[in-house]
Amino acid sequence: MCDTIVALGSTTEEGFTLFGKNSDREPDEAQNILIIPREKHDLNENVQCAYLTIPQVSETARVLLCQPFWMFGAEMGANEYGVVIGNEAIFTREKPDKIGLTGMDLVRLALERSRTARQALEVIIELLGKHGQGGNSGYRFKLK
């Protein structure tokens, strides 16, 4: 599991919000740091996530992502509107009913589709309702 820290602007001397996160991924799994520009998308366009293809939105925000090299999603990232999200693994013995979006898919999709933290939360809730969550997120080792 990862560790994340957030200090809201109301608690810092300079008034800035701080975000920090580590990524407890496999030791030989490279992480890409990439910037994806704001994009307009065609009507009926789809986006390929880790295991599912879902409908794309008409416009996606510019995002900075820290991403396992083999995945669509991201461990953490920020968008042009100042929304920041970090992924935390939760291990469970429950098996998913079906393959769905991964937590990392949700990080990227929420950053691309939101202008506020509240909107990011609403995007994640909507995506979970439509597509569910499930699927292996391990590189060499199957994280179940």
Residues annotated catalytic, as ranges? 2
- In terms of C-beta density within 10 A (0-12 exposed, 13-18 middle, 19 or more buried), how is residue 122 classed? middle
Please state the φ and ψ torsions of residue 33, each to the nearest 5 degrees.
-110, 115
CA distance 131 to 97: 11
- The residue count of the chain comes to 144
Do the beta carbons of residue 136 and residue 111 sit within 8 Å? no
Nearest Cα to Cα of residue 139 among 26, 1, 50, 24 = 26
Largest CA distance in the chain: 47
